[in-house]
Structure 1
Amino acid sequence: MHLQPPSPLPAPLAWTGPIKTPLASALLALLPLAQAQGFEDYDEVIVSATRIEQPVEDVNASVQVISRERIEKFSGRSISDVLQSADGVLVRDGGSTSTISLRGFDAGHTLILVDGMRRTEKYAGSNVNNVSLENVERIEIVRGPMSALYGSEALGGVINIVTRQAEGSPSTRAKLTLGATDDGQRETALLHLSSGWAGASSSHRVGLEAKYRDPFRLDKDSLATDLRQEQRLFLNYDGRFNLGADAKLGISLEYLDQDDEGTGLDRFGTPYDQIEQETRHFAGATYSNRLGQGTLSLNLGYGSSSATVNRGTVTDETTEFDEFQTEIAYAWEASEAHLINLGAGYRSDDVEISLLSKQADRDVSHVFIQDQWAISEQVELTLGGRYDDYSDFGDTFNPRATLAWRPGDWGLRVSHGTGFKAPTLLNLYMQDMVRGRYLIRGNENLQPEESKTTELALTYGFDLGQVEFIVHDSSLTDLISSQATGNLVGGLAEMVYQNVDQAEISGAEFLLDLEPADDTRLRFGLEYLDARDALSQERLTDRPRWQMHVGLSKQIGRTSLDLRLRHMRDFWATDPVPFASPYASNFTTASLHLDYELSPSINLFGGVDNLFDQEMPENIAFRGTPDDPGARYFFVGVKGSL
């Protein structure tokens, strides 16, 4: 093996031993994930904060990378829109907020990171719609349990949003997008601006994204808004500094202002104002340097959120959230056959939510280690584990192992790992949250939710692309849900969070990535899912049995065409009314995007989402809210660069 010295911008470690390194380690260290391959190119490499480079087709994990080039083929509304077509992903996009699920796991079992670090959010949760799409370089998705390196919430997998970095040469970009549904609703204006400059030993980038979107109503005569009016402003800065020799420093700053409004109806039909407001700041720093035979990396991040929300409550619900996180890691070659990653970190959450019985503080310390062992020319074993210690409920250890065999163009891998999710601060400390006829309260004695997952994958690479078949099986225990106590409080039924539920989730994925010609790209995915309550064997709701997505990209002269199709079959869910029984529904939607190169520096683009104006069945729509934009949506725009 050979460790490359860092270049003026952070460079990868390249393992040139007998077998290529699995992407598992490259993607799964709790550090900012760096440059990756473009979706449109097979020969690019993925580079992680462990500084290990590897061609995407050689990875030993279920991974998808969505490049900036691919992101440009969407309407630009949000990251949720981009993730709708990703493998194994289920998105419930309500515009103001969204939830992301992987492989049938609950949304809270998917860890969302930005440059390998967490972001603060209202209710101490996560919302990818509050991440600037203008600032995204690519999105990396790892399906499968990743708590062995990422910690809490990574039961179903990890989605890491990698932001754009400062470039070595000056550049200025602008993009304007206008859109609306075909009945004149959801009028949208999106403005993306960025500028970069460089000096002898530094480079800098600033970006701006401004968004305004009118509300949407399924019934235009209704007072209630199904999708709220959205207003967002994003500002960001990235700086890269060469400190001499091999030392590199990166600085990132982010600002978000969200001010969304809508109208709801209570059970008596009386309208009320809905609000979704948040101001967020984030500052991060990364440092890397050669040390001995390896590379030392240090990451620091501080974020704060101040939010006010009213989705139908008597009083506004507020969140004040401050978070500090840091991690130090060292990657080195212990021998020609072993590449070791070792790290330790700390996170401090200070949260004050109006729904909590007290101000909540949580401190988390962790250590992790991973060994990538090239047993032979064709066989590789990756072993890793992470220990987390929480100040409010205790500690947990989560291991993971992957054995990969690569005889020529074929690949076979088997992996097993555990995952966990710490009880949320709402689970622990909620006081008297009224939802309908229920009064929901927290429980300070909760334990983490846990999972065990086994995965088997067969891959085959050929001249025109790659095909992959994956089966996975998971068991989940100590799942947290609100349980009736039998007590009435002020005429409301008391519910308290308890560790009571168990689940079994199994499935299969067939994925094809094909490039039959230099100007044509085809991607096909078919996914099967069986998710059940482990005790009753009843199907878990809010999940499709089958999901299919097809994407076709074609370059015709100066015009690029992108067509996407998504189908959900046997989606098992209830209507958003009390005591409703679940039933199965189907839903199909298509999108078209065209881009014309007017000149080397100016492009015109446009497209249609929900091409055939399909109305989402009520039981698929999340709590009655259809996926944004709600109906057939047209958009046009212009983008240019200097």
Structure 2
Amino acid sequence: MSKSFRRFHLTAAPLALALTTLPAAAQQPIVLDPVILSGGFSPVEAAAYGRAATVLTAEEMEQRGVTSVQDALRGLPGVSVSSSGASNTAVRIRGGESRHTLILIDGVNAGAGDQPYDLSGLDLADIERIEVLRGPQSVYYGSDAASGVVNIITRKADRSGGYAKAEAGNGGALAFGHAVVADRWRLQADLGFREDRGYDHSVAGTGDKDGIRRATMGFSGEWSASEDLRLGFSSRHTEERYWYDGTNFAATSAEDYLEADADFWADRDERINLLWGEFASLDGRLIHRLS
């Protein structure tokens, strides 16, 4: 035991002596180059983005041949679009209720209070892209977005000019827009009209057609007060009329359930007015927005 202890003691002595010399060497300061940490302000590839999100551009929707927002949303993963008649359209994301899907138009809640928004005949004429966010990250927008968010972004011209479109068929459509863009400001107007004559919903096919008619006017503008500060506004006004059949709850057959010959109709009037300001900091990597 004693020999083993002495052997260990003699072996550990040089190590203890070496350790006592370390503090003297560590007293010499080591100056490092500045280290800058900036997390969250770097662009991320869409394929590497961790959230379940889909972006539909105007070019993609035109290639698909769709003319309304509800038709553009059909076929997206995790999104269910169901319609009853010409105007009552509900959007459900990942099995949630329609009241758990928040519909935004240029970042403004399009719904009335706590009620879900019916997309109805929302036209794509002046829409630049549609962003759909699915999953729990959407709760950032509140309890109305427990299932997801659909953000509809209207067109913002980057140069002066206009466009005009016309369609004909079982109804018709007209769209017109013009913008004046200068170095520090932009003014833009968009007008759209669409009429869909619909079809006969009755079983016997002897009723009248239930269609929808919708007109939209949009005005927007912005001004660059400085290199970092931008101010702007937008105003959107939509009027809609849609026709529907009455219901006979005393019917004894499927043919008698709908009052297909009755000329029932309803009107919708929507207005969205927005004032906003944006201030850029950190060389444009951080945007502060008040709207």
SS at match of 1:127: coil
Residues 614-625 of structure 1 aligned to structure 2 (within 5 Å): none
Contact kept, 8 Å, 2:80 with 2:93, in 1: the verdict is yes
Aligned to 1:113: 104
**What aligned pairs does 1:344-355 form with structure 2 within 5 A after superposition?**
none
Conservation of the 8 A alpha-carbon contact between 2:82 and 2:90: yes
Aligned to 1:489: none
Judged with a 3 Å threshold, the aligned counterparts in structure 2 of structure 1 residues 72 and 158 are, in CA distance, closer, same or farther, namely: same
Distance apart, 1:64 and its partner CA:
0.8
Cα deviation digits, residues 444-492 of structure 1 (max 9, x gap): xxxxxxxxxxxxxxxxxxxxxxxxxxxxxxxxxxxxxxxxxxxxxxxxx
Query: How many matched pairs?
Result: 244
C-alpha spacing 1:262/1:290, structure 2 compared with 1 (3 Å)? closer
1:274-327 deviation line (CA, Å, top 9, x unaligned): 32211122110221114588542101xxxxxxxxxxxxxxxxxxxxxxxxxxxx
Larger radius of gyration: 2
Partners of 2:45 and 2:57 in 1: how far apart?
Answer: 14
Report what 1:221 is aligned to: 205
What aligned pairs does 1:382-531 form with structure 2 within 5 A after superposition?
none
The equivalent residue for 1:248 is 230
Query: By percentage of residues, which structure has more strand?
Result: 1
RMSD, aligned α-carbons = 2.7
**Displacement after TM superposition at 1:249 (Å):** 1.2
Query: Quick one: percent identity of the two aligned structures?
Result: 22
Q: 1:111 offset after TM fit, Å?
A: 1.2
1:145 is the counterpart of 2:136: yes
Question: 2: distance between equivalents of 1:297 and 1:99?
Answer: 30
Match of 1:554 in 2: none
The two structures have a TM-score, normalised by structure 1, of 0.36
Q: How does 1:2-41 map to 2 (within 5 A)?
A: 21=40
Matched-pair contact (CA < 8 Å) for 2:103–2:111 = no
- Whether the aligned pair in 2 keeps the contact of 1:144 and 1:157 (CA below 8 Å) is yes
Match of 1:202 among 185, 210, 214: 185
The yes-or-no answer on 1:281 pairing with 2:265 is no
CA distance in 2, matches of 1:150, 1:254: 22
| Aligned twin of 1:527 | none
- Residues 233-282 of structure 1, C-alpha deviation per residue, up to 9 Å, x if partnerless? 00111212111231101211101000112332413448344322111221
Amino acid at match of 1:298: L
CA-CA distance at 1:74 after TM superposition: 3.6
TM-score, reference length from structure 2: 0.75
Structure 1 residue runs without a partner (length 5+):
1-15, 22-50, 180-186, 300-642
Pairing 1:47-196 to 2, within 5 Å after superposition: 53-94=43-84, 95-121=86-112, 124-146=115-137, 148-167=139-158, 169-179=159-169, 187-196=170-179
Corresponding position of 1:411: none
Shift of 1:124: 4.0
SS at 1:244's partner residue? coil
SS in 2 for 1:81: helix
Aligned residue identity for 1:176: A
Deviation (angstroms), 1:163:
1.3
Q: CA separation in 2, counterparts of 1:224 and 1:122?
A: 34
Question: Partner residue of 2:26?
Answer: none
Q: Is the 8 A contact 2:114 2:144 kept in 1?
A: no
1:298 alignment counterpart: 290
* Structure with greater proportional helix content: 2
| CA distance in structure 2 between the aligned counterparts of 1:56 and 1:99, rounded to whole angstroms | 28
Partner of 2:220: 238
The answer (yes or no) to whether the contact 1:224–1:265 under 8 Å persists in 2 is: no
Cα distance 1:209–1:122, how it changes in 2: closer, same or farther (>3 A)?
Answer: farther
Please report how far the alpha carbon of residue 75 of structure 1 lies from its aligned counterpart in structure 2 after TM superposition.
Answer: 3.6
TM-aligned CA deviation for residue 52 of structure 1: 6.6
Q: Distance in 2 between matches of 1:253 and 1:101?
A: 28
Aligned-residue offset at 1:141: 0.9
Are 1:223 and 1:264, in contact at CA under 8 Å, matched by a contact in 2?
Answer: no
> What amino acid maps onto 2:264 in structure 1?
Q
Give CA deviations for 1:604-627 in whole Å, capped at 9, x if unaligned.
Answer: xxxxxxxxxxxxxxxxxxxxxxxx
Q: Distance in 1 between matches of 2:140 and 2:104?
A: 13
Contact 1:203 1:241 in 2 (8 A): yes
